[in-house]
């Protein structure tokens, strides 16, 4: 009797793009939790990482196995990533309380632009037509969100600067994660980086005089397990399968979602330009996943040589 042919195995990383979008949508809830926390902004970054460390270490041990310890060089590299992430959180959480949620998400994810530039430098080529169209939609959408939500006032200016600085640190973090994910699974990468970043955040929180001990643990627990375990877990997983160009554009899902959350929770206004910007960013995410059409002559040549 002829044995049935087993179904083909699912391609590795087939869920990477949905994970990228889902992770960024979860991360967009982070600023809300930071505002609800009754500790200082830097201290909330410490609790985000510190509370997540035990679970991440367990998940990393389960995923990697006891015989797959990373090399010393990778541990050092990921510890550096953790320091970049700690600096990102410190600057971002300070900025979140000094500006609008839409601004915090947008400027905090200025890393999207830097990561796209890094991606094309790594590929050593210019954008293809579909990629160029996606980049144009993303740029116009981000500009519309920025133009509508940013207010030229001292009240928001300092917070915007802090969140832009956070975006720079976040870019360095993602570049290191991108390199590490070529040889490591996602949970060990995230666990090492998170562990390395927790203590510096605590020391800095004490240095600037933040209130560290919370009275209400709920926002901090939601921040740790929502943003750090789920949000960053999905993002780090996706980084291992997607190009930095796609990851960079995917980060723009956060400011679009942040604008909606700010509108629903804090009554922050969303103009027609805000909605148009969010729609254009969504269009960019669709375009960047469209396959490039192969020229007929190239296809024919490939057939002739097969």
- Structure confidence by residue, pLDDT tens digits, 41-59: 889 999 999 999 999 999 9
**For residue 147, what pLDDT is reported?**
62
Q: Which residue has the higher pLDDT, 258 or 79?
A: 79
Token couple for 14: 């087939």
- The torsion of the CA quartet 204, 168, 33, 195, rounded to 10 degrees, works out to -50
Q: How far is CA 264 from the centre of its chain?
A: 22
Give me the DSSP letters along 21-63.
HHHHHHHTTHHHHHHH-SS-HHHHHHHHHHHHHHHHHHHHHHH
DSSP, res 212: -
Q: Which residue has the higher pLDDT, 282 or 229?
A: 229
DSSP, res 226: I
Q: Which residue has the higher pLDDT, 104 or 203?
A: 203
* Sequence spans of domains, the chain: 16-291
% pLDDT > 90, the chain: 31
Q: Which residue has the higher pLDDT, 121 or 1?
A: 121
Terminal C-alpha separation, the chain: 35
171-198: pLDDT as tens digits: 999 999 998 998 899 999 999 999 999 9
b/e map 60-99, b = 16+ CB within 10 Å: beeebeeeeebeeebeebbeebbbbbbbbbbbbbbbbbbb
**For residue 269, what pLDDT is reported?**
64
121-180: pLDDT as tens digits: 887 777 788 878 888 888 787 777 666 555 555 667 778 788 888 888 989 999 999 989
For the purposes of burial, counting CB atoms within 10 Å of the CB of 215, is it exposed (0-12), middle (13-18) or buried (19 or more)?
Answer: exposed
The backbone region for 124, taken as left when phi is positive above 0, alpha when psi lies in -120 to 50, beta otherwise, is left
pTM for the model:
0.79
% pLDDT > 70, the chain: 81
């Amino acid at each position: 009797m002829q044995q049935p042919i087993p179904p083909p195995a699912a391609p590795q990383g087939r869920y990477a793009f949905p994970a990228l979008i889902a992770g960024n949508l979860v991360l967009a809830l982070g600023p809300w939790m930071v505002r609800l926390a009754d500790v200082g902004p830097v201290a909330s970054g410490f609790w985000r990482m510190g509370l997540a460390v035990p679970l991440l270490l367990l998940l990393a041990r389960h995923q990697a196995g006891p015989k797959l310890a990373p090399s010393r060089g990778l541990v050092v590299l990921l510890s550096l990533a953790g320091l970049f992430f700690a600096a990102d959180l410190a600057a971002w959480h300070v900025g979140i309380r000094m500006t609008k949620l839409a601004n915090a998400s947008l400027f905090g994810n200025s890393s999207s632009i830097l990561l796209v530039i890094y991606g094309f430098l790594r590929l050593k080529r210019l954008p293809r037509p579909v990629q160029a169209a996606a980049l144009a939609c993303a740029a116009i959408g981000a500009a519309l969100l920025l133009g509508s939500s940013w207010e030229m006032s001292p009240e928001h200016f300092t917070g915007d600067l802090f969140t832009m600085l956070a975006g720079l640190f976040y870019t360095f973090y993602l570049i290191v994660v991108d390199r590490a994910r070529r040889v490591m699974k996602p949970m060990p990468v995230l666990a090492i980086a998170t562990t390395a970043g927790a203590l510096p955040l605590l020391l800095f929180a004490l240095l600037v005089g933040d209130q560290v001990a919370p009275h209400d643990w709920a926002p901090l627990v939601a921040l740790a397990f929502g943003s750090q375990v789920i949000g960053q877990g999905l993002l780090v997983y996706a980084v291992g399968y997607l190009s930095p160009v796609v990851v960079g554009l995917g980060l723009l899902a956060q400011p679009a979602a942040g604008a909606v959350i700010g509108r629903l929770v804090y009554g922050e206004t969303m103009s027609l330009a805000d909605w148009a910007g969010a729609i254009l960013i969504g269009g960019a995410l669709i375009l960047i996943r469209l396959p490039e059409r192969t020229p007929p002559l190239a296809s024919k040549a490939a057939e002739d040589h097969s």
